[in-house]
Structure 1
Amino acid sequence: MSSSTDFAPEQAPAAPARAPRQRIQRRPVHGVLLLDKPLGLSSNDALQKAKWLLRAEKAGHTGTLDPLATGLLPLCFGAGTKFSQVSLDADKAYEAVLQLGVKTSTGDAEGEVLERRPVAVTREQIEAACAAFTGEIDQVPPMHSALKHEGKALYDYARQGITIERPARRVTIHRIDILDWQDGEAQQLRIAVRCTKGTYIRTLGEDIGERLGCGAHLSALRRTGSGPLRVEDAITLDALAAMSEDERLALLRPPDSLLQDWPALRLDAGEAGRFLSGLRRRVAAADAGQVRVYGPEPQAFLGSAHVKAGELIADRLLSPQEVQSLLAGPGA
């Protein structure tokens, strides 16, 4: 006789119902988070993870880093997204490792090896090669890049074996510093680069390799700066995830941290209200293409503007609600 715990197949108990997936409650979050992006993660994936951890309604990053690159990725939330273009346009700083003597199909460690050449270079030759690419140069963007051609990224064409003609673009390399040169078997050159936006360090590495006569590819890349922002002040995703919600919010910098290199103007309460409504205001200030504007309270950031012929003309404005939220502090 069967025990009371035996079941015929048709009497098998139903599988327990899955608990409904809990939906995260989003909220207005305003500010800038300096993230140290890890290796292997896309910039958008890193943004989405940070957005989820902060439960933020609106977020955006300020310039893509390749999955194979690490380092500074400023993330903008809420009112901060209005000024993300400032960071996009800012000069950038990188540390790069070049593998000399090896050319790849992509110009980095992800591509197939196309050619190997012997390396016989001196420190003086390396210095001369780096100096040759310092200043204004014309640079042809790589095929393995996110630049668009007829609505499609160049890397999509490259994966199909299609090469698109790309016009050279003028960029400025402010300086290249040699951090380390490993001769012998390693044949690796580590450099620090300060440059304008739109500079491809991968292409720069290939060009330096060609100048040296041995070829090269980019084996590692880390962004260390964007405008006045530095990777030393950034936090990793793992560290962010280990924090409490209040600790995460406390890491947010105000939106005007992206504009800290600009001159500042302060308005009284009446003028601040008119400025926020979009009206031009007369000010006793010299013409300036970029200024950050504040109300009477010490931290009352109102937005960005420019001054022309004694008039303060708004460019990007915060809403009154955003101003009050920033005055109230994180999580308010």
Structure 2
Amino acid sequence: MNAPRTRVQRRPVHGVLLLDKPLGWSSNDVLQKVKWLLRAEKAGHTGTLDPLASGVLPLCFGAATKFSQLQLEAPKTYEAIALLGTTTTTADAEGEVLEEREVTPAMLTAERIEAVRQQFLGPISQIPPMHSALKKDGKALYEYARAGVEIERPARQVSILSLSIEPIQTAEGRSALRLIVRCTKGTYIRTLGEDIGKALGCGAHLTFLRRIETGGIGVDRCVRLADLEAMPEADRMAHVHPVETLLAGHTTVTLDSENAGRFLSGLRRRGSWPDADAVAVYGDAPHALLGVGHVTGGELVPERLLSPLEIQQILENSPSVEHGTLETTL
């Protein structure tokens, strides 16, 4: 008989772990793995990365899940390799070859590449690939694709904020492009690589995709899953950044204890603050993040709030913070 499995004792964890997602894992698979490693009660990620993509994937725990949408909405930067001359059913190396075409020197002149680069800068229209997680009638498009069913997909408007295209040679001597793309949410880099190949006249598919930055968080700040697994639990917790890591760029407002309690109850506060669309609100005694809101006409309007319990748990697990309690005043 097999020995009974030991039940993991979950605990409240609040913050953001910046993961360098490995190849071959889905975003949800790595989320569940890290949640288990941290013994965390509640977790969520900030937008999916394909199993064939690696790179920056902020994982949110506890109170940080309330602000994961901010990273989902943020611009992102990718590095990709597009192999020229071959198109596939999935626009990447996993698909079956659709067509092979010759790549000529005339297609890759500096002038031609610059003209194509300009063509894809700024607002562009993309048709989402069939091999994507977009849903139709509750079913992912890739499920239809695997069944050989083609679904009509309306074009989506996205924006390419910056684009670098560098011709390179693969180890096998084939022509390829190294792309560095900064783009708005919802951009399909596989589709972009495929469309750039089409514009050059030879077709292309991605053989490499790595997210190197999202919302100001670079891959240099991320920890690898293998390293996280190998370290003691206490060291893993040291890689959980504060919730406010997700609030970079927000204007800061600090409230005294009375106004902090009222704000936490969902009440608007009045003050001499300038108008601001994105405000991170803190209490001053003790210093703690309360939530986010916006200021209009001198009025601070609550939007997403931490609970008093979440705040207390964060304070109790912050060695540099002098513990205190927040009172919620109605």
TM-score range, shorter chain: over 0.9
With over 3 angstroms needed to count, the CA separation of the structure-2 counterparts of 1:43 and 1:127, relative to structure 1, is same
What is the DSSP-based 3-state SS (H/G/I as helix, E as strand, rest coil) of the residue aligned with 2:284? coil
4+ runs of 1 displaced by more than 4 Å? none
Alignment-derived partner of residue 125 in structure 1: 112
Bigger shift: 147-156 or 120-129? Answer: 120-129
Amino acid at match of 2:173: E
Residue 234 of structure 2 corresponds to 246
Cα separation, 2, equivalents of 1:297 and 1:139 = 50
Tell me what 2:27 maps to. 43
What amino acid does structure 2 have at the position aligned with 1:92?
A: K
Aligned to 2:149: 162
Query: How much has 1:285 moved relative to structure 2?
Result: 1.4
The code of the aligned residue for 2:210 comes to R
Alpha-carbon contact 2:167-2:175 (below 8 Å) kept: no
The 3-state SS of whatever aligns with 1:295 is strand
Query: Could you tell me which residue of structure 1 aligns to residue 327 of structure 2?
Result: none
Aligned equivalent of 2:37, options 53, 77, 80: 53
Q: CA RMSD in A?
A: 1.6
**Counterpart for residue 10 of structure 2:** 26
TM-score, length-normalised on structure 2? 0.92
Asked if residue 114 in structure 1 is aligned to residue 102 in structure 2, the reply is: no
- Count how many residue pairs are aligned between Structure 1 and Structure 2: 316
Larger deviation: 17-26 or 297-306?
A: 297-306
Kept in 2: contact 1:228–1:261 (CA 8 A) = no
Alpha-carbon distance between aligned partners in 2 of 1:180 and 1:266, rounded to the nearest angstrom: 51
Counterparts of 1:298 and 1:135 in 2: how far apart (Å)?
A: 45
> Is 1:198 the counterpart of 2:182 in the alignment?
no
* Aligned ranges 1:145-184 → 2 under 5 Å: 145-179=132-166, 181-182=168-169
Instruction: Describe the superposition over 1:28-86 as per-residue Cα deviations: whole angstroms up to 9, x where unpaired.
Output: 00000000111001111100110000000000110000000000110000001010000
> CA separation in 1, counterparts of 2:12 and 2:167?
45
Q: Distance in 2 between matches of 1:294 and 1:124?
A: 53
1:250 Cα shift? 1.1
Selected match of 2:74 from 69, 86, 90: 90
Mapped partners of 2:235, 2:318: distance in 1: 10
Match of 1:137 among 107, 124, 137: 124
Quick check: 1:187 aligned with 2:171?
A: no
Query: What is the alpha-carbon distance in structure 1 between the residues aligned to residue 285 and residue 243 of structure 2?
Result: 16
Hey, what does 2:246 align to over in structure 1? 258
Please name the residue that 1:236 is paired with: 224
* Structure 2 alignment gaps of length 5 or more: 324-330
Distance 2:216 2:312 in 1: 26
Tell me if structure 2 keeps the 8 A contact 1:101–1:118: yes
Which residue in the other structure is 1:268 paired with? 256
Q: Which residue of 2 aligns with 1:100?
A: 84
Moved more, 190-199 or 299-308: 299-308
CA contact (8 A) 2:168 2:175 kept: yes
Distance 2:40 2:15 in 1: 10
Which position in structure 1 is the counterpart of 2:203?
Answer: 215
Cα shift at 1:179: 4.8
C-alpha distance 298-141 of structure 1, shift in aligned 2 (>3 A): farther
1:302 match: 290
Bigger Rg, structure 1 or 2: 1
Provide the identity percentage: 61
Cα offset for 1:266? 0.9
One-letter amino acid matched to 1:133: F
Rounded to whole Å, the distance in 1 between the matches of 2:86 and 2:318 is 49
